[in-house]
Each structure stands twice: as C-alpha cells, then as structure tokens.
C-alpha cells in the first residue's frame, strides 16, 4: 500500500492540565498499528499533529513493519518520528528521509539522506525484492521510479505479474513450475494452484515470506519445494499467513533455513488459520533456526503431517506458556492429529489433538507406536483403508504414502 496525500491530525491540545484529547497516533499511512503486519508500504505526504506523529505510522504496539519507507515532512508537538512516531521498535525495518522529513529520529527504521534513498543498492542490500533481480526473491515487488528516483510498488508502475498456465479455479488451477511463478502467487492470493514439478530455490535469500498471505487452495501434487532460505522479520515460512478458508495438501519442503526464532515462524507457514493435510518438512541435514518445523502459530488444523529436523533454541514471547510449544508447531491453538516431529534423539507424536512428548528414536521407527494410535498404514485395514502412511521399520519414521519411499533390503 502507499499514500501520497498530506495528513493533519486535529486531536490533542495543550492546556494547563497538560495534553488533552490526544489520539493514539497520526501517520502518513496508518495512525495506530496494533499487533499488525505492515510490509512493502510507503508514504510521501506531509504529516502534522500534536502527539505520536510519524511519517508512515503514528504509533505501534507489537506490530511487524518490514520493507517500508516515508519521505514527507513530519511536524507537531511531542513524540515525532521520521518513520514511526512512538511505540515498540524491535520488529521494524525501513527507512525515512532525514532531509525531506526534517527529523533525524524515529521509533524504528533508519534515517537516510536523499542520495541514499535514491540509490537502489540501499534497498537491495536490505533484501528488498526488485523487478529484474531474483537474489532477493521472485515477487518483483519494487522498482525504481524514473521521475523521482525513489522505489515504487511495481504493480502500480505498469508491471504485469507473470500469470501461470491455468484459470486459477479448483477445476483448472494455476500451474506453478518455477520460482518466478511461485513468487506471483501473492498477486492472486484467493486463487487455486497446483505444483506442476519440484522447485529448487537455491541462491535466493528472501527478506519476507515468498507468499505473504494466502486464502486459496494449494495442491502440492506430491511435489517438493527445496532450499527455501529466509532472513527477515515477522511471520515467516513459505506462506507468512494462511487465511481461514485456505488449504494446502500433499506438499513437501526440504532443507529450509529461516533465521528468526519466534512463535510465528515455521517452514510451511508462520501463522496458519487454514487446513493442512499430508504435508511435511524434512530439514534433517541442518539445524533449523526456528521454533516449529512445520508451522509457527497454528490456529487452524493439521492432519497427516510431519516435520524432521533439530530446532535451534529460540525465544517464545512470555505471553506464550511453555506447554503450548512443540517442535512440530511452536504454538498450537488449533487442531493437530496424526502428525509427528522427529529430531536426532527422539520425537513427539500428535494423537487426536493430544501431544505425546519425548519418544525415543526406536519408538519413532516402530510401526506399532503408530498402529496402536490408530494411524492408517498401507497393507493394514484395522485403522482404515485410505493407506495414508508407510514405514520402513527400524530404519525410519513414517512417511506419507504419496512419497513412494523405498525401504532398504
């Protein structure tokens, strides 16, 4: 999003009793941001107010602000900021122009000169995804404007996102064949998609999730996305946030690396409100730098899923009780069934929404552990006839049947 118009806040006056009638914030784009996710936004208009005045946002409370900037003059009474006027600052990344704003301070972000703000290297070095380059991602979110020399959102500058083959319906979904088409999903987040072949994302370091928000249907089609690497802020994963009516199924992720360690980080989704079935993440060759191998904050449902990999110790906010966390999901407020996590020394098992912790490696490789819990395996009929799982006893933990894993003799 962006805003170019001037903003004047009239609330708040100084009297003998002090500041009276002050608003929560006055900003070029947002007045007050409370536990929100603001990414790839900018504002250029002048902002004037009395209290908590910012070029982009007046004030924030535990919000994530990523890849944003502001240019306008900021003026008023107290708690002024070039980018953000007041609030928490630990998850904010962006820039403001110290020359055009008239301010050298902000509650978050970095103040730059006009010359620095008009240099594309300033943004590329911070991982912003620009049209014409793929090192920082393939969504081609930004491009430098020819007239003023500042970044502009490319979709408003005539950029036509690539359209994969298909119509984006359930019967004729868009077919995703490469990293560029994967990056285009964010432009049509309510459509239906199908992975047409495996995709290797090696060589790309994403600053944000490849797909910021998704409310459609994603059919993994038994395919794999490998070597996803993200070094950024906020909800992170292949999907930053899966909406309430979204669904993802039969998708595999291999060797995922995510630098941040919070309860909103997972290989598949930082936040899940949707439905995940028959999905997995296997990063057994690397120590994962996040709290949940598959999902960070789960408020939706997971069924027939698993995660493999060792979790690097991270920090969960104090408001999240320790017992909420597992190594499949960092925080669970939804439904998890017939799913598991396994590390090098043991694992955890989800049975009918109940987390069974601290199983040994031998138990995780014993089919009876899962049969006794009612899991549906190939060549057995007592637990169902869908043949969801298969296993190489004594060699590995269960794998989803569609993976076609061959056991050693």
More confident: 338 or 284: 338
Per-residue confidence band for 259, with pLDDT thresholds at 50, 70 and 90: confident
Give the C-alpha separation, 60 to 32, whole Å: 6
Mean pLDDT of 178-200: 97
pLDDT for the residue 145: 84
More confident: 12 or 150: 150
pLDDT for the residue 397: 94
Tell whether the model's pLDDT for residue 321 goes beyond 90: no
pLDDT for the residue 311: 64
pLDDT for the residue 265: 87
Kindly report the CA angle at 294 between 290 and 298, in degrees rounded to 5? 95
More confident: 327 or 324: 327
Pairing of strands 18-20, 13-15: antiparallel
pLDDT for the residue 380: 92
Given the structure tokens 């049209």, which residue do they identify?
131
pLDDT digit string, tens, across residues 33-60: 998 889 999 999 999 998 899 999 999 9
Q: How many CA atoms lie within 13 A of 121 on its CB side?
A: 2
Q: Copy the structure tokens of residue 393.
A: 């006893």
């Amino acid at each position: 999003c962006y805003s170019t118009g001037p903003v004047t806040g009239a609330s708040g006056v100084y009297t003998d009793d002090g500041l009276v009638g002050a608003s929560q914030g006055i900003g070029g784009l947002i007045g007050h941001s409370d536990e929100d996710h603001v990414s790839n936004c900018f504002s250029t208009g002048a902002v004037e107010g009395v209290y908590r005045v910012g070029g982009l946002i007046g004030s924030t409370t535990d919000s994530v602000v990523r890849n944003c900037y502001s240019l306008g003059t900021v003026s008023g009474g107290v708690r002024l900021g070039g980018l953000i006027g007041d609030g928490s600052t630990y998850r904010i990344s962006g820039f403001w122009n110290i020359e055009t704003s008239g301010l050298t301070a902000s509650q978050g972000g970095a103040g730059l000169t006009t010359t620095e703000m008009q240099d594309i290297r300033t943004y590329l070095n911070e991982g912003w995804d620009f049209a014409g380059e793929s090192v920082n991602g393939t969504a081609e979110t930004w491009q430098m404007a020819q007239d003023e020399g500042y970044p502009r959102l490319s979709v408003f500058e005539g950029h036509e996102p690539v359209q994969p083959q298909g119509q984006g319906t359930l019967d004729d979904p868009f077919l995703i064949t490469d990293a560029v088409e994967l990056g285009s999903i964010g432009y049509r987040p309510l459509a239906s998609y199908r992975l047409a072949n495996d995709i290797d994302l090696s060589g790309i370091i994403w600053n944000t999730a490849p797909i910021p928000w998704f409310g459609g249907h994603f059919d993994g089609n038994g395919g794999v996305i490998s070597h996803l690497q993200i070094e950024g802020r906020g909800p992170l994963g292949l999907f930053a946030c899966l909406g309430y009516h979204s669904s993802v199924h039969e998708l595999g992720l291999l060797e995922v690396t995510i630098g941040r360690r919070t309860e909103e980080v997972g290989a598949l989704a930082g936040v899940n409100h949707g439905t995940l079935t028959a999905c997995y993440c296997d990063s057994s060759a690397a120590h994962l730098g996040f709290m949940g191998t598959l999902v960070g904050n789960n408020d939706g449902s997971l069924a027939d899923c698993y995660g493999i990999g060792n979790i690097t110790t991270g920090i969960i906010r104090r408001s999240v009780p320790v017992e909420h966390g597992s190594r499949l999901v960092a925080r669970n407020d939804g439904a998890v069934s017939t799913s598991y996590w396994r590390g090098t020394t043991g694992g955890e098992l989800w049975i009918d929404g109940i987390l069974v912790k601290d199983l040994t490696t031998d138990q995780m490789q014993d089919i009876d552990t899962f049969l006794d819990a009612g899991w549906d395996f190939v060549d057995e009929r007592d637990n169902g006839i869908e043949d969801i799982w298969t296993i190489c006893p004594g060699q590995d933990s269960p794998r989803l049947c569609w993976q076609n894993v061959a056991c050693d003799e």
